[in-house]
């Protein structure tokens, strides 16, 4: 234990307790971890060796053994086909047997070559024997090729008898059989080794599980003891101590737990003494909180009323601002309409002046039209009289034409009486009668034309009289229109002056409304700022009231007194 500045006994730090543990203490957790790691690595190594070494080796040995068995079967087939060629008669077909023998010779050569390449170097005796068999086969194959192409059974028998076929056949067969037997032995041996390794791996795995189970049960039982001690401490029994057993990390944990419990017990004694002092301070603080709560309530009520009044004022200013804005729009629209009316009045005045000048010109033009119409009427009258005179002349010409026609008829009669002497006179009389007839027809046409002209002139005279009367009426109407336009010009001139005055007044009114709107906007901004300030004050008062209420509730609830008597 250490002595503090106040003279009270202070617990030793936990780090100091931890440093008191002997340095030579063995690490139980370290030993557990190292043992499990070694066993696990060993198990993984066995598994990998089985997967990547033993299993491929067994597969390779099985494959070589199968190749040797297949080559042995094919060699027996070659022997059978060779003997069959020696005993088959010449009359029987031989080409099929010869082709099959040649194909088997080629296939066996390839299989024997593959087998010699695939067989492992260990054992070397098997490898050498198989290589010797391959060398013997090269020479043996040459004799068999020659035998397969022979057509005479006797020749085949001679080759079989002289070429020492049976001895070489059995020598090659022994090499292949020996290779197959060796591969079978190697396969069985490798399989046994693989099974042994598998058993070893399984044993290692079971050892790991057993070791982990033993260690976990040991560690769990000791940690359970520490847990029960901790449960007693949480229930308030600070005199409980954990048993110190062994010489590892759990032992150190138990010693640290006991030191911590002892320190907590000492701190609780000091805290109980401090609690009594805190209770005195809390009583004084409770009285202060009561006064603070009352003052905060009064401040909150006042600020709430002030905020409500400020909100109503801001709303009224907002409504006034909206109304002034509408009035501003109406004043602006009135000024625009007044300007439009003044412009239209000025344009109307200009139009009426133009209309007055046009009416004056119309009066003058109507007078000239009346004079022209009267002159036209006199001309038409004279044309009617002259037409009547021409009609009389035409009547005279028509009478002359009829008389000439009668004379021509009489002359023709007299010429006919005179015979040949009157022939020339007859021709003249016919021409005169023809001219008289043409004159009579022309006078008829001219009389008809003169009749039409007379009718047109009569109608024109009637129209001229009507036109004259219409012109007189038009002159009267134009004169009256001129008087009306003069009166309208005076009225529009007065209206234009009035519209100009209204426009000036509307502009002044719009300017005044704009100033009012600006003033209302400034008042609205000021009211919004005042409302925001009031609301901030209200929020601060509400926070102060809540804090005082919470403090008063906390001080009056007795939580501190209860906590002082409760264990930690």
Can you give the residue ranges of every domain in the chain?
Answer: 27-234, 266-565
Does 500 have pLDDT greater than 50?
Answer: yes
Report pLDDT for 293.
65
Report pLDDT for 128.
75
Per-residue pLDDT band at 557 (split at 50, 70, 90): low
Least confident of 87-91, 288-292, 307-311: 288-292
Concatenate the DSSP letters of all residues of 387-425 into one string: HHHHHHHHHHHHHHHHHHHHHHHHHHHHHHHHGGGGHHH
Report pLDDT for 552.
66
In 10 A of CB 187, how many CB atoms? 19
Instruction: Based on DSSP, count helices (H) and strands (E) in the chain, helices before strands.
Output: 10, 2
pTM to 2 decimals? 0.31
The dihedrals phi and psi of 245, each to the nearest 5 degrees, come to: -130, 135
Report pLDDT for 461.
72
Separation CA 154–CA 152 (nearest Å):
5
Report pLDDT for 122.
63
Per-residue pLDDT band at 16 (split at 50, 70, 90): very low
Per-residue pLDDT band at 10 (split at 50, 70, 90): very low
Per-residue pLDDT band at 391 (split at 50, 70, 90): confident
Per-residue pLDDT band at 332 (split at 50, 70, 90): confident
What share of the chain in percent tops pLDDT 90?
Answer: 0
User: Quick one: fold of 27-234?
Assistant: f41 fragment of flagellin, N-terminal domain (1.20.1330)
As a whole number, mean pLDDT of residues 187-199 equals 74
Separation CA 243–CA 226 (nearest Å):
8
Report pLDDT for 23.
36
Report pLDDT for 3.
41
Residue 236 makes CB contacts below 8 A (sequence gap 6+) with: 567
Does 171 have pLDDT greater than 50?
Answer: yes
User: Quick one: fold of 266-565?
Assistant: Helix Hairpins (1.10.287)
As a whole number, mean pLDDT of residues 223-251 equals 72
Separation CA 92–CA 94 (nearest Å):
6
Does 1 have pLDDT greater than 60?
Answer: no
Angle 459-460-461 (CA atoms, 0-180°, nearest 5)? 90
As a whole number, mean pLDDT of residues 486-501 equals 72
Per-residue pLDDT band at 4 (split at 50, 70, 90): very low
As a whole number, mean pLDDT of residues 395-400 equals 77
As a whole number, mean pLDDT of residues 294-318 equals 70
As a whole number, mean pLDDT of residues 426-441 equals 77
Most confident of 99-108, 301-310, 536-545: 99-108
Concatenate the DSSP letters of all residues of 3-17 into one string: E-TTS-EEPPPHHHH
Per-residue pLDDT band at 53 (split at 50, 70, 90): low
Does 74 have pLDDT greater than 80?
Answer: yes
As a whole number, mean pLDDT of residues 90-108 equals 81
Least confident of 107-116, 143-152, 301-310, 467-476: 301-310
Least confident of 20-29, 235-244, 528-537: 20-29
As a whole number, mean pLDDT of residues 377-401 equals 76
Report pLDDT for 290.
67
Q: Which tens digits make up the pLDDT trace of 20-48?
A: 434 334 455 566 667 667 767 776 776 77
As a whole number, mean pLDDT of residues 463-475 equals 75
- Which residues share a beta bridge with 2? 10
Does 2 have pLDDT greater than 50?
Answer: no
What average pLDDT is seen over the chain? 72
- Which residues share a beta bridge with 10? 2
As a whole number, mean pLDDT of residues 155-170 equals 75
Helix (H, G, I), strand (E, B) or coil at 433: helix
As a whole number, mean pLDDT of residues 82-98 equals 76
Report pLDDT for 25.
41
- Which residues share a beta bridge with 9? 3
Does 19 have pLDDT greater than 50?
Answer: no
Report pLDDT for 281.
64
Does 566 have pLDDT greater than 70?
Answer: no
Least confident of 8-17, 73-82, 475-484: 8-17
**Long-range residue pairs from 378-381, CB within 8 A, at least 24 positions apart, any chain:** 380/457, 380/460, 380/461, 380/464, 381/461
Instruction: Look at phi and psi of residue 486 and say left if phi exceeds 0, alpha if psi is from -120 to 50, else beta.
Output: alpha
| Cα–Cα separations (whole angstroms), residue 508 to 91, 138, 335, 504 | 145, 133, 9, 6
């Amino acid at each position: 234990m250490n002595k503090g500045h106040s003279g009270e006994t202070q617990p030793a730090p936990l780090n100091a307790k931890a440093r008191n543990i002997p340095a030579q203490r063995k690490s139980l957790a370290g030993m557990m971890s190292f043992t499990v790691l070694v066993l696990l690595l060993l198990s993984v190594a066995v598994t990998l060796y089985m997967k990547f070494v033993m299993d491929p080796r067994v597969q390779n040995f099985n494959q070589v053994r199968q190749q040797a068995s297949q080559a042995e079967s094919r060699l027996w087939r070659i022997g059978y086909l060779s003997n069959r060629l020696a005993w088959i008669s010449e009359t029987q077909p031989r080409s099929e047997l010869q082709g099959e023998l040649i194909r088997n010779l080629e296939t066996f050569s390839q299989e024997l070559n593959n087998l010699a390449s695939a067989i492992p170097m260990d054992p070397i005796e098997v490898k050498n024997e198989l290589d010797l068999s391959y060398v013997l086969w090269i020479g043996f194959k040459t004799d068999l090729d020659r035998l397969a192409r022979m057509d005479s059974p006797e020749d085949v028998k001679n080759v079989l008898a002289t070429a020492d076929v049976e001895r070489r056949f059995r020598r090659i067969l022994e090499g292949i059989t020996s290779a197959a037997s060796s591969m079978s032995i190697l396969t069985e041996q490798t399989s046994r080794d693989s099974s042994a390794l598998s058993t070893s791996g399984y044993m290692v795995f079971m050892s790991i599980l057993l070791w982990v189970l033993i260690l976990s049960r040991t560690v769990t039982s000791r940690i359970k003891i520490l847990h029960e001690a901790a449960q007693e401490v949480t229930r308030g029994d600070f005199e409980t101590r954990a048993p110190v057993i062994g010489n590892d990390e759990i032992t150190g944990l138990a010693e640290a737990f006991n030191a911590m419990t002892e320190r907590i017990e000492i701190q609780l004694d000091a805290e109980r003494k401090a609690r009594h002092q805190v209770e005195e301070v809390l009583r004084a603080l409770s009285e202060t909180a009561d006064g603070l709560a009352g003052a905060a309530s009064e401040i909150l009520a006042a600020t709430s009323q002030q905020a409500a009044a400020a909100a109503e004022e801001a709303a009224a200013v907002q409504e006034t601002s909206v109304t002034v804005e509408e009035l501003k729009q109406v004043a602006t629209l009135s000024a625009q309409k007044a300007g439009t009316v003044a412009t239209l009045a000025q344009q109307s005045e200009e139009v009426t002046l133009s209309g007055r000048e046009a009416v004056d010109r119309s009066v003058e033009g109507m007078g000239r039209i009346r004079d022209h119409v009267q002159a036209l009427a006199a001309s038409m009258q004279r044309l009617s009289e002259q037409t009547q005179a021409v009609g009389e002349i035409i009547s005279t010409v028509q009478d002359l034409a009829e008389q000439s026609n009668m004379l021509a008829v009489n002359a023709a009669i007299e010429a006919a009486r005179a015979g040949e002497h009157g022939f020339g006179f007859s021709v003249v009389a016919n021409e005169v009668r023809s001219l008289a007839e043409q004159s009579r027809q022309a006078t008829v046409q001219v009389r008809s034309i003169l009749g039409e002209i007379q009718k047109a002139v009569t109608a024109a005279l009637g129209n001229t009289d009507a036109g004259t009367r219409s012109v007189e009426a038009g002159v009267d109407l134009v004169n009256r229109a001129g008087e009306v336009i003069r009166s309208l010009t005076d009225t529009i001139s007065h209206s234009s002056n009035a519209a100009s005055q209204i426009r000036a007044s509307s502009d002044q009114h719009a300017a005044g409304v704009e100033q009012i709107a600006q003033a209302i906007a400034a008042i609205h901004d000021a009211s919004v700022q005042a409302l925001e300030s009031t609301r901030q004050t209200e929020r601060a008062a509400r926070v102060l009231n809540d804090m005082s209420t919470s403090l008063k509730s906390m001080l009056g609830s007795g939580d501190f007194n209860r906590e002082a008597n409760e264990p930690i």
